């Protein structure tokens, strides 16, 4: 409607008024002018509409671009957690990248996705209904429950995807390889070793599973093999326990016998030491008595030696014979030192027939309380 006021339409109006004045000749010219004016009006209207359509289309495209960006950008960004490995996979082309993605945000495109594998320690448990049955070296059936801890190696993630697919399939493969290796290792142990040597058995199982993982190209590393339980048939267990009890009783008896022997040897040793101490003490006492007696002997010998020398000197000074010395000098010394001496005893040296009288054996007078006097012979 805005085009009605355009100059072209004014021209048309002028030409129409002239046509009415000029008559038939002007009618032909008016028709031509009307046709040209109509074409010009249509072109102008199309141009204005084109300008509006172009501006609207540009705005629409920008909106669509922003909308697509808001939709596709989140679809293109995928996160890999710290406990995961990732591999970029294009769902449209059905191809995957040979680069392993680690923790972080990665652009995989709107048609891409990230196939993830755990980088932490994974557990495979074989217990309950999944417990393993195997035969020992001596043909005894053994039931084992175990836990295997393994890790996917970083450099082998692409190979795992190429050979197995997702993580669940490699877990099934790991379980099968570990179970087969442990069953084969069972045949190297007797039932008695299963009962007594759990640590050795566990170490052998770890070695067997590790070697099996390498031989089977599982692309995983074994960390730990834990034997949760080992069960033997009740009859075998009872026989082993009875044997063990008998061995313990024998060892106990041996230990008690050894203890008794030790105690007896200890008592004997104590007695020998006590005897040695007694002998040492007795010898010490004997040595003391002997030393004391020898000392007394020395003193007596010295005393009599000095007396002998003194008497000899006195005898020489007095010029007395031995008989005169004894009957004169020594008699006077004894009489001076004696109390109430007896002086009327017969001289038996010259007259042996004279015998002492009974009244001569007693003291005369009261004296100093000495009592009876011994006979001359005594």
pLDDT tens figures, 161-192: 889 888 889 999 999 999 999 999 998 888 88
* Residue 283: other Cβ atoms inside 10 A: 10
Which pLDDT tens digit goes with each residue over 208-263? 999 999 999 999 999 999 989 888 888 888 888 787 787 788 888 888 888 888 88
Quick check: 287 pLDDT over 60? yes
For 106, phi then psi, to 5°, come to: -130, 140
Residue located via tokens 């890999």: 80
Q: Output the pTM of the full model.
A: 0.49
Q: How far apart are CA 137 and CA 208, in angstroms?
A: 16
Which among 209, 238, 240 has a CA at the least distance from the CA of 222?
Answer: 209
Q: What is the DSSP letter of 237?
A: H
Residue located via tokens 């020898």: 294
| pLDDT confidence bin for 341, thresholds 50/70/90 | confident
Query: What's the chain's average pLDDT?
Result: 76
- Gyration radius of the chain's alpha carbons: 71
Q: For residue 53, what pLDDT is reported?
A: 57
Q: How far apart are CA 239 and CA 148, in angstroms?
A: 31
Q: How far apart are CA 139 and CA 15, in angstroms?
A: 124
Quick check: 33 pLDDT over 80? no
Q: Which residues are registered as beta bridge partners of 152? A: 220
Reading the block at residue 210, the tokens are 């590790």
Which pLDDT tens digit goes with each residue over 252-277? 888 888 888 888 888 888 888 888 89
Whole-Å CA distances, 252 to 245, 263, 371: 10, 16, 81
Burial group, residue 107, by CB count within 10 angstroms (0-12, 13-18, 19+): exposed
Residue located via tokens 């069953």: 183
């Amino acid at each position: 409607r805005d085009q009605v006021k355009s100059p072209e339409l004014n021209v048309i109006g002028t030409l129409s008024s002239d046509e009415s004045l000029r008559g038939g000749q002007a009618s032909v010219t008016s028709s031509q002018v009307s046709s040209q004016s109509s074409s010009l009006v249509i072109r102008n209207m199309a141009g204005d509409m084109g300008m509006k359509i172009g501006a609207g289309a540009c705005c629409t495209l920008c909106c669509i671009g922003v909308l697509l960006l808001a939709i596709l950008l989140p679809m293109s960004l995928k996160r890999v957690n710290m406990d995961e490995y990732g591999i970029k996979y294009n769902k449209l082309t059905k191809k995957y990248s040979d680069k392993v993605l680690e923790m972080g945000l990665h652009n995989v495109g709107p048609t891409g996705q990230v196939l993830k594998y755990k980088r932490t320690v994974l557990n495979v448990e074989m217990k309950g209904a999944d417990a393993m049955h195997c035969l020992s070296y001596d043909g005894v059936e053994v039931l084992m429950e175990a836990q295997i801890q393994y890790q996917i190696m970083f450099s082998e993630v692409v190979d795992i995807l190429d050979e197995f697919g997702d993580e669940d399939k490699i877990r099934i493969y790991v379980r099968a390889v570990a179970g087969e290796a442990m069953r084969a290792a069972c045949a190297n142990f007797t039932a008695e070793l299963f009962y007594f040597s759990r640590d050795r058995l566990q170490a052998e199982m770890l070695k067997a599973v590790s070697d099996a993982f390498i031989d089977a190209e599982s692309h995983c590393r074994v960390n730990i093999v834990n034997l949760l339980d080992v069960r033997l048939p009740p009859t075998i267990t009872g026989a082993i326990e009875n044997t063990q009890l008998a061995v313990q009783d024998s060892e106990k008896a041996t230990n008690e016998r050894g203890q008794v022997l030790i105690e007896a040897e200890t008592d004997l040793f104590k007695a020998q030491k006590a005897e040695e101490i007694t002998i040492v003490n007795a010898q010490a006492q004997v040595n003391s008595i002997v030393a004391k007696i020898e000392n007394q002997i020395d003193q007596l010998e010295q005393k009599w030696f000095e007396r002998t020398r003194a008497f000899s000197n006195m005898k020489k000074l007095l010029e007395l014979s031995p008989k005169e010395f004894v009957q004169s000098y020594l008699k006077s010394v004894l009489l001076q030192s004696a109390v109430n001496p007896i002086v009327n005893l017969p001289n038996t040296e010259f007259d042996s027939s004279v015998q002492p009288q009974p009244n001569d054996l007693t003291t005369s007078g009261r004296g100093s309380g000495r009592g009876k006097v011994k006979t001359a012979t005594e």
